[in-house]
Structure 1
Amino acid sequence: MRTITEGVLESSRCPECDTGIQADSRFTKWCPACDWNVDPGGPEPAKGRLEALRRTLARRHGEKLLATMSTDAPGEQRARRDAYGVLAYVVALLIHGVTAVLATTGIWCVVSGWGGLLMVPGLFLLLLGWGLRPRLNRLPKDEDNGAVLRRPDAPELFALIDEVAEVSGTRGVDAVAVNADTNASVQTYGLRGRLLTLGLPLWESLTPEHRIALLGHELGHYSNGDTRRGLVLGTAFRSLGLWLFYLSPIPNPTAVQMITNLAYIGPRLLVQGVLMLLDTLTLRSTQRSEYLADSAAARAGSTEAAVGLMDRLLVVDSIDITLRREVNSRQLRRSGQPRGTEGEGLWEELAAHIASIPESEYERQRRVGALRGHSVDATHPPTHLRRRRLLDVGPVAGVVVADEERSARIAGELAGARGTVAREVVRDGVDGV
């Protein structure tokens, strides 16, 4: 029986230019000579006005920044705050000021109108101010999704993170969350705590060199002035998101609720406008930080590893599809398996599939990315521009090395989390985790 890591090499002729084509049966058949069928699906439409704006700005700023940053070798650039960044801080402080005014007015109404009618609007404003207060990120719990590791749980992994952090010009993290997302990220929790989140579908599909580049990129956000991850702007974005949630129209409204929905239109448009303004003011700085984080990835793992990591990000859809297929297969035969063993070998199957993807598919995805302006999300510069910048400045040798023994020790430290997440994925399904 053929496995998901095996394909059939099929030969044919291009219907456009008559060039000979050889294609793996698992992937899209296309012509490298004339780009016939290189992007049969076409780009996905943007979801809403904010997403469309972000995509447009991502392309525009990404291309302009590439022109100004390509001549500098990785490590020579430093993030800098411009007038837009200062204005963004002013807007963020005004957002928090509105919440403070609501709470202060509520306290005044309650105190000055104690026992009277002013207490009603006072309590309402107090509750509203409390609900809209800036919220700090919290450290997730193990039962939320996956597992959370501290230094004693994975000393070798944290030692690698510290080594990469030193190369990136920052300190390491205080906790590592391992989950089932096809992603990786860093964020601050509390006032100074640092959390690195590693999604196992992505982590397990990478080589040791790619993983070092991934760590370098994520930790590079702490050393290059990524303002959106800061306390003031980060909480402002979360507050605006909460305001939009509160102002969302009520589905299937009654007659009274329809009036409420109409009353919400003006405030909702105002909040969306402020969110778009804050997006516009911070996007250039955010995109610069992504380019600089790529430089940190190259310094830590090498230019080759950083570029290879970007290629892996282009096939994220293939990772998700493969994982979903494997999970569905295991769910169908789960009744005949001993309890607790349904997740065994899941990550090995996924890694084997990714390792089997032919270079022709990566090249197709690179061309599709250039056509669509693909980016990891709407705040990132287009991936092909990030890749071009690293290649244009010349190769950089990585400083951090993960040999087979070190990689094996790290894998041993993650074994418990790998098993836990695999069982959760098979039990709940890909979309349920």
Structure 2
Amino acid sequence: MHRPSAAQAVDCPSCGSSLDVDERFPAWCPGCEWNLSPAAGPAPHRTPRQQRGHLRAARRRAAREALVRARVEKLYESLTEDPARRHDANWFGAAAIAGAVHLLTLAVFTGSVLLVCDDRWPVRVLGVIGVVVAVLLRPRLGRVRNDANALRRDEAPALYALADRVAAAVGGKPVDVIRVTGAFNASFGRLGLLRRSELTLGLQLWTVLTPQQRVALLGHEFGHGVNGDSRRGLWLDSALRTLSTLHTMLLPDRRGSQRGAMVLFALVAGVAQGLVCRLIRVVLRLLHRLTSRSGQRAEYRADILAAELASTEAARGMLETLLLEQSVQTVRLRLRATPRPRRTGGSGTQPPAVDFWTTLAEQVADVPPLERERLRRLSARDLGAVDVSHPPTHLRMQLLDQRPKGLPSLELGDAETTAIEAELAPARKRLAAALLG
């Protein structure tokens, strides 16, 4: 585990500025950004031909990155000019493609049922295969899982009460199920035929947030239920799942275990499957492009809702904490490598030798401002985001920086925080054992 250490003053080898270096983190220069992203190792030796190929690939990569940067910055500018706008022509195009996917699935199912009713048994077999395929491609609604990670309302009344207050504040409905995991993230979605809402809280993220940043996190997640995020709607989401399932089903088998005449058949089938898979990938990329604008607008609006609820400072701090995922995983790996007492008998889960959650919170809180600034600049340079569906984190923070520093409309008090922590204690013990096991 890294421990606090005194900063050492050194000179930047690039511009000569005086630097305060913390040995726990990479040394870098805020002035000239020397060593902003430390090199993984020495550059490999390349022949002149390999060097030319490397330069061509780097230019192509830079061109792609410039195109992506221009696109996300244009979206950011359009949002600041018209924050109330939700859908555009691209969204209607995506909805039409999703409709075509659903109609194709329905056509396969209907046609297969008609074949099953035929008198000829080969046609019936073909119909049965078609019905099975149509069932596999049916719209997936998801389901609420009542596993060990799901908390009932009587198990966590304080947590549910806070979630209900946040949902009401952003104009949503009370949550149906709250689940806790050991991940460094959070999510909100609607599942099943009845579209029950499910909030998932990753305790690694929840633990390193301050109480008011937790309110901002909840405000952001519940904001997805009211901000018109089309990607989370049943129509588009189920079409994306159908295409992904079909792509997985049609991936060619490249193990090469066929013999004799089957080789030619496998080759022809593999080529046909490959062409269809490529077409599906094209459609998936097109759907992503068509929905990325409205989806990223929804993320920005969720951030604004979080800021209005918990304060701009808390919402920005929550986003800044998302940049610390690598630090969180480093702490976990170091704690996992720490020797623990052996089991001496009895049953149940062996508790970890250290308080994982307390140590995690303390060490992440101890990350100095200079390292946080390095991660923010690195995110801005590399367009870093939570995932491909989110806008770059630095632009989300920049949007909040332009907002007034108002007071929160909902505050999490000490007594409520203590009650929630007590309710999460059993899950913390179980998940800590799993993360350190």
TM-score normalised by the chain length of structure 1? 0.89
Say whether residues 1:340 and 2:350 are aligned partners. Answer: yes
Q: Does 1:109 align with 2:115?
A: yes
Query: What is the Cα deviation at residue 354 of structure 1?
Result: 0.5
1:243 paired residue among 246, 263, 284 = 246
- Picking from 390, 394, 408, the partner of 2:404 is 394
C-alpha RMSD of the superposition: 2.3
Could you tell me which residue of structure 1 aligns to residue 10 of structure 2? 12
| Alignment partner, residue 377 of structure 1 | 387
2:281 alignment counterpart: 272
Cα distance 1:79–1:231, how it changes in 2: closer, same or farther (>3 A)?
farther
CA contact (8 A) 1:214 1:309 kept: yes
Give the alignment of 1:42-61 within 5 angstroms.
59-61=69-71
Residue 289 of structure 1 corresponds to which residue in structure 2? 298
> Deviation digits for residues 331-390 of structure 1, max 9, x if unmatched?
x43526775212751111111111100000011111111111111111211111111111
Q: Tell me how far 1:41 sits from its aligned partner.
A: 4.4
SS in 2 for 1:186: strand
* Residue 73 of structure 2: aligned partner: 63
Residue 167 of structure 1: how far off its partner (Å)? 2.0
Structure 1 residue 58, shift from structure 2 partner:
6.0
Could you tell me whether the CA contact under 8 Å between 2:220 and 2:306 is conserved in 1? Answer: yes
TM superposition shift of 1:258: 4.3
Q: Is the 8 A contact 2:332 2:436 kept in 1?
A: no
Point out the more displaced range, 219-228 or 391-400.
Answer: 391-400
5 Å-filtered alignment, 1:3-402, equals 3-41=1-39, 59-70=69-80, 77-111=83-117, 113-143=118-148, 147-190=149-192, 191-255=194-258, 256=263, 257-329=266-338, 332-335=339-342, 340-342=350-352, 345-402=355-412
Q: Which amino acid aligns with 1:92?
A: A
1:260 Cα deviation from its structure 2 partner: 3.3
Change (3 A) 1:382 1:164: same
Give me the whole-angstrom Cα distance separating, in 2, the residues matched to 1:238 and 1:373: 27
State the percentage of identical aligned residues.
37
Which protein is bigger by CA-based radius of gyration?
2
> Higher mean Cα deviation, 56-65 or 155-164?
56-65
Deviates more, 1:416-425 or 1:293-302: 416-425
Partner secondary structure for residue 224 of structure 2 = helix
C-alpha deviations, 1:299-339, integer Å up to 9, x for none? 1110001111111011111111211221232xx43526775
- Whole-Å separation in 2 of the counterparts to 1:55 and 1:139: 39
Aligned letter for 2:324?
A: V
Q: Is the 8 A contact 2:376 2:394 kept in 1?
A: yes
Gaps (5+ residues) in structure 2?
41-61
Aligned with 1:34: secondary structure? coil
Partner SS for 1:222: coil
Deviations along 1:179-225, one digit per CA (max 9) or x if unpaired, are 11111111111132001111111111111011111111111111110
Q: Which runs of 4+ in 1 moved over 4 A?
A: 52-58, 336-339
Unaligned runs of 5+ in 1: 43-51, 428-433
Q: Size of the alignment, in residue pairs? A: 407
CA distance in 1, matches of 2:68, 2:397: 15
Residue identity matched to 2:185: N
Letter in 1 for 2:140: R
User: Secondary structure of the equivalent of 2:284?
Assistant: helix
AA in 2 matched with 1:416: P
Q: Which has the higher contact order (CA 8 A, sep 6+)?
A: 1
Query: What are the Cα deviations for residues 137-157 of structure 1, in whole angstroms up to 9, with x where unaligned?
Result: 1112425xxx10122221111
- Structure 1: distance between partners of 2:66 and 2:136: 33
Note if contact 1:58-1:378 (Cα within 8 Å) is conserved in structure 2. no
1:44-95 deviations in Å (ceiling 9; x for gaps): xxxxxxxx999888644431232133367xxxx4352222112211111111
Matched position secondary structure for 1:223 = coil
Offset from partner CA, 1:22-53 (integer Å, 9 cap, x none): 121111100111111011249xxxxxxxxx99
Is contact 1:227-1:285 (8 Å) kept?
yes
Q: Following the alignment from structure 1 to structure 2, what is the Cα–Cα distance between the partners of residues 167 and 56?
A: 39
CA distance in 2, matches of 1:92, 1:41: 43
